[in-house]
Amino acid sequence: MKRNMKVGEEYQYSERFIEAVKRALPEEVPIAAYLIENLPIQREAVYRRLRGEILFNFSEVAVIAQKLNISIDNIINVWNIDKVSFDTNLIDHVSPANNYTGLLENHLNLLERLNFLDKVSFKAAFNTIPYSFFLSYESIAKFQLYKYSFNVCNEHMKPYSDFKVSREIKTIQEKCRHTMTQLDSFEYILDKRLFMYLAEDIAQFHEMKLLTDAEKRKLKDEVLLMLSDIEEVSMTGLSKATKKPTSIFISNIHFDTSYILYQSESYEVAHFRLFTITGIRSDNSKICEKQKNWLESLKKNSTKITLSNAIFRNNFFKIQRTFIEKALK
């Protein structure tokens, strides 16, 4: 009797997997054709699995789950939050600049898989400048990586002028920036001191003689340009490059890290920022639901500045510019 129950559960998992694949595929793509193309097994072996005569093995499930962003947690019905699996996306402290390439590639792979889906929304709360803001500004992007590298190996740190960002990193950064713009809608909740924090960091490195006066001025100009670009988005409700719907909220309370949620009708994934530019993520439905609820609670304690609250919006950007000018004079 126990053996029969176990077999029954195994077939339930297989059926859940098949249903998950069907949901993840576009309507015009037959599941059999997709599996035949993407699994190293014969056509008849695929049909036997679809008919339930034999089970998919773990490696087959893993290959397809990775390609289609299917949550294995959800397939096996793991509801215990204490045992949810997370993907780590961390940088090796020994060579942070080199390993940053791997981090960007990992992020790019996720974005490319999301672009395979329809109606993907990006919702996030940031207490530091997000990638999607600074990757368009070369000096700020370099400074963010430099700052992280300094924090993990500061006793051997070179001045900012001697810190080199490889062509490979710049290429992947541009791909990430471009691929990010292909998502369908964006919603940002921002710490009200977000840009002030960046200005203070730049001023601190200048005081430590790691940034020259000219480098500080260039970074200041880019920060002010970035601020103006974001102000334009808040006035139009559209991303500057692609005209995608974009909403911006300014949080009235402090929050401890940055939270991101990518959502489509068939897939969602939550990301949590760690150690400045790295993080962990999970596509477990319970984790994503908690992330969604947390973002909604932050939004309730925030002021929307997109296409609304013009006086608050104008004052917010005025205060940011005044502080940046003073900190980086």
In tens, the pLDDT along 245-273 reads 999 999 999 998 999 999 988 888 999 98
Query: Which residue, of 45, 77, 109, is where some domain finishes?
Result: 77
Q: Report the CATH number that the domain containing residue 260 is assigned in CATH.
A: 3.30.870
Question: Could you tell me if 60 and 164 lie in one domain?
Answer: no
Number of domains in the chain: 2
pLDDT category at 6 given cuts 50, 70, 90 is: very low
Question: Could you tell me if 288 and 235 lie in one domain?
Answer: yes
Question: Could you tell me if 115 and 25 lie in one domain?
Answer: no
Is the separation of the CB atoms in 75 and 285 below 8 Å?
A: no
Question: Could you tell me if 94 and 70 lie in one domain?
Answer: no
Question: Could you tell me if 129 and 181 lie in one domain?
Answer: yes
Question: Could you tell me if 91 and 72 lie in one domain?
Answer: no
**What is the model's pLDDT at position 236?**
95
| For range 237-251, the mean pLDDT | 91
pLDDT at 295 over 90: yes
Question: Could you tell me if 42 and 179 lie in one domain?
Answer: no
Greater model confidence, 185 or 53: 185
pLDDT category at 185 given cuts 50, 70, 90 is: very high
Classify residue 247: in a domain, yes or no: yes
Question: Could you tell me if 56 and 122 lie in one domain?
Answer: no
Strand pairing class (259-263; 268-274): antiparallel
Residues 13-28: tens digit of each pLDDT: 788 889 888 877 877 8
Q: Say what percent of the chain tops pLDDT 70.
A: 86
Greater model confidence, 266 or 188: 188
- DSSP category for residue 305: -
Q: Report the CATH number that the domain containing residue 45 is assigned in CATH.
A: 1.10.260
Q: Rounded to an integer, what distance in angstroms lies between the CA atom of residue 1 and that of residue 208?
A: 72
119: alpha, beta or left, given left = phi > 0 and alpha = psi -120 to 50? Answer: left
Classify residue 180: in a domain, yes or no: yes
Question: Could you tell me if 125 and 17 lie in one domain?
Answer: no
Length of the chain equals: 329
Query: Which residue, of 12, 47, 77, is where some domain finishes?
Result: 77
Classify residue 82: in a domain, yes or no: no
**What is the model's pLDDT at position 83?**
56
Question: Could you tell me if 94 and 45 lie in one domain?
Answer: no
Q: Rounded to an integer, what distance in angstroms lies between the CA atom of residue 66 and that of residue 265?
A: 18
Question: Could you tell me if 62 and 128 lie in one domain?
Answer: no
State which residues form the domain around 136.
87-327
Classify residue 25: in a domain, yes or no: yes
Query: Which residue, of 33, 48, 77, is where some domain finishes?
Result: 77
Q: Rounded to an integer, what distance in angstroms lies between the CA atom of residue 276 and that of residue 151?
A: 10
